[in-house]
């Protein structure tokens, strides 16, 4: 029994997939086309009730039904086949609305005394345009609707072919219908403009919110002065790289860089000059390291450099180049003064089973060893 039920569900799913595809975008388009088709079928049913009640000649209703069915089928085939994807409006919303208005205007002509059903149907048709068309398109649709129903009203009043059931609709009633149709068209156009404006505001607010979130994220992981990753970001990257190095058994190096005699820079030239020096130092070091290396401001005049998949000898050569470049690059301070900087570096390689805290402690110890040996040098921890 369970296998039968499963087989039936599988067959139903395959049938559904064959009918409306498995593409989610196509499914949405076909679902909306199906909804409009159901509404059209409801209108067809109403017209046949009118014909069955003897209020109008059934022959024009049958031809009108065929025309409506042809439109529904054409829309489904164009969307299901994928042919509509080449169009600017793959859902064929504008085409469906224009065709539905034409069918509605034709129903107004052939419905006889029951043509009062046309304005409510028109209101439903226009609701699809509120959410699927631009204000400019909606204005065009409204003008088209006025012309279509104006022509339909003229046919009712002055044209009486043999196939059209005669009726003696008073001109005042025809005018009232046309006024209601104009109200439906105008209100739908106005509502579309308001909806479009609200959507534009929402999109603008969404962009502003995304920009604010990105700014907050940057403030959370970036050092405001140097633009480098901050301590929080470096701690997270150290954790990730530590786990990766332990899994892959690839070397991982951590270097701690400290500007020599930086307190004297602040005391002599002021903190504004110290900020300029830190910015210049960060730019110089960033220009020397590789794209795969992570340079971060650790705090004050201290910086960390994380080098993944790098052997100690290669890391030491890179840091020696950094040290030499910093020493050879004077910092231009406000007022034309030039300041020479040097940097001391402690370098440590991650040992098997070692924690990031222990690795950082060894790099820090190597840094202080470099300072004890006279500063402006790179020292590898053992």
Please list the active-site residues. Answer: 301
For residues 224 and 333, the answer to whether their CB atoms sit within 8 Å is no
Q: How far apart are CA 326 and CA 307, in angstroms?
A: 19
DSSP 125-149: HHHHHHHHS-HHHHHHHHHHHHHHH
Q: Which two tokens stand for residue 14?
A: 């395959």
DSSP 61-73: HHHHHHHHHHHHH
Q: At what angle do helices 135-158 and 118-132 cross, to 10 degrees?
A: 160
Please, which residues have CB within 8 angstroms of residue 102's CB and are 6 or more apart in sequence? Answer: 148
Rg (CA), the chain: 38
Nearest alpha-carbon partner for 39 in 83, 13, 78, 71: 71
Q: Which two tokens stand for residue 173?
A: 């009633």
Distances (CA, A) of 356 to 24, 254, 345, 350: 46, 9, 18, 8
* Distance, C-alpha 87 to centroid of its chain: 22
Bridge partners of 303, per DSSP, are 257, 297
For residues 307 and 318, the answer to whether their CB atoms sit within 8 Å is yes
Measured on CA atoms in the order 179, 180, 186, 190, is the torsion positive or negative? positive
| 3-state class (DSSP) for residue 250 | coil
| H-state helical runs in the chain | 2-20, 24-52, 58-81, 93-110, 118-132, 135-158, 171-221, 231-248, 262-269, 271-288, 312-328, 356-372
């Amino acid at each position: 029994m369970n296998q039968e039920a499963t087989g039936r569900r599988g067959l139903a799913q395959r049938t559904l997939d064959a009918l409306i595809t498995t593409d989610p975008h196509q499914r949405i388009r076909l679902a909306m086309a199906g909804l409009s088709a159901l509404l059209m079928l409801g209108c067809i049913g109403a017209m046949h009730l009118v014909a069955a009640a003897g209020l109008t000649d059934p022959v024009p209703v049958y031809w009108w039904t065929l025309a409506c069915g042809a439109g529904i089928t054409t829309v489904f085939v164009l969307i299901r086949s994928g042919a509509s994807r080449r169009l600017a409006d793959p859902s064929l919303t504008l085409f469906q609305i224009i065709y539905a208005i034409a069918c509605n205007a034709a129903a107004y002509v052939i419905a006889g005394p029951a043509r009062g059903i046309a304005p409510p149907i028109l209101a439903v048709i226009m609701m699809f345009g509120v959410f699927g068309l631009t204000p400019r398109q909606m204005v065009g649709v409204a003008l088209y609707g006025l012309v279509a129903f104006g022509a339909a009203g003229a046919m009712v009043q002055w044209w009486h072919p043999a196939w059209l059931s005669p009726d003696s609709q008073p001109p005042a009633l025809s005018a009232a219908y046309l006024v209601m149709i104009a109200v439906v068209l105008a209100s739908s156009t106005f509502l579309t403009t308001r909806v479009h404006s609200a959507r534009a505001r929402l999109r603008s607010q969404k962009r502003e919110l995304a920009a604010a979130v990105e700014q907050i994220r940057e403030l959370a992981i970036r050092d405001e002065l140097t633009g480098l990753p901050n301590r929080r970001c470096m701690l997270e990257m150290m954790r990730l790289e530590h786990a990766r190095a332990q899994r892959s058994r690839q070397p991982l190096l951590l270097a701690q860089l400290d500007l020599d005699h930086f307190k004297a820079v602040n005391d002599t030239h002021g903190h504004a000059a110290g900020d300029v020096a830190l910015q210049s130092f960060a730019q110089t070091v960033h220009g020397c390291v590789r794209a795969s290396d992570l340079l971060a401001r650790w705090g004050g005049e201290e910086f960390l450099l994380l080098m993944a998949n790098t052997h100690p000898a290669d890391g030491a050569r890179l840091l020696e180049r950094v040290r030499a470049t910093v020493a050879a690059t004077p910092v231009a301070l406000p007022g034309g003064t030039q300041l020479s900087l040097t940097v001391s570096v402690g370098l440590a390689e991650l040992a098997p089973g070692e924690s990031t805290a222990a690795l950082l402690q060894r790099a820090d110890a190597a840094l202080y060893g470099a300072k004890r040996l006279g500063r402006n040098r790179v020292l590898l921890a053992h």
